[in-house]
Chain A
Amino acid sequence: EAEVAQSPRYKITEKSQAVAFWCDPISGHATLYWYRQILGQGPELLVQFQDESVVDDSQLPKDRFSAERLKGVDSTLKIQPAELGDSAMYLCASSLSDRGTEAFFGQGTRLTVV
């Protein structure tokens, strides 16, 4: 069964360091999402790609976060510099399109900033 792959599963980093997460969506899925989930809250959309284009990054803290999906396939989310408040679960999801189709989630990356 096709899955969304994310790595690493866990990451501990010191504040002010750079950290990067990788996501490989299900083959053929045009829409890719990066979410942040803080304990006790629902997922918060950070960035949404349609193929290689960003269609929504309104909640992305652009002074320190960046995301790219250069060939419209896999994607990288980077934080530089990391802050203590960035500790959270970072989830990647993909869907066939953005038109109401279900999203399939990866296992997530648990980030701890110390």
Chain B
Amino acid sequence: ILNVEQSPQSLHVQEGDSTNFTCSFPSSNFYALHWYRWETAKSPEALFVMTLNGDEKKKGRISATLNTKEGYSYLYIKGSQPEDSATYLCAFRSGAGNNRKLIWGLGTSLAVNP
């Protein structure tokens, strides 16, 4: 059974704080790791699609790293702002066989207090 775990489950930070979350996934048959941001009352928005071990991607104040050998990815937010408040989801895609299904974590819910 493929399992994707995210930690912490929820996080409260003050505006200006930097923060990071973890996504753990199976270290075998890796194909891709996706990060999404899901704000309340909106649809999930793709942040990154990561495919190579050691990959680092950045979008504004948000960045992500990938370690496929040990099966984890970190998402970093530098200088958190209230508009960063959302649930951050990661999803793992296995390369095994024909299975291209995205396996989702439960998300990390971030609340940034002004």
We find that the number of chain A residues with CB closer than 8 angstroms to chain B is 24
Given the complex, which residues of A lie within 8 Å of B31, measured CB to CB?
Answer: 100
Task: Assess whether B43 is in contact with A106, with CB atoms less than 8 Å apart.
Answer: yes
Task: Assess whether A45 is in contact with B101, with CB atoms less than 8 Å apart.
Answer: yes
We find that the number of chain B residues with CB closer than 8 angstroms to chain A is 23
Q: Which residue on chain B has the smallest CB distance to residue A102?
A: B46
- B window 68-107: CB within 8 A of A: 89, 91, 93, 98-102, 104-107
How far does the Cβ of B36 sit from chain A's closest Cβ, in whole Å?
8
Q: CB of B44 within 8 A of chain A?
A: yes
Q: A91-B44, A107-B43 are in contact. List 7 more A-B contacts (CB 8 A).
A: A4-B43, A42-B91, A45-B104, A98-B100, A103-B46, A106-B43, A108-B43
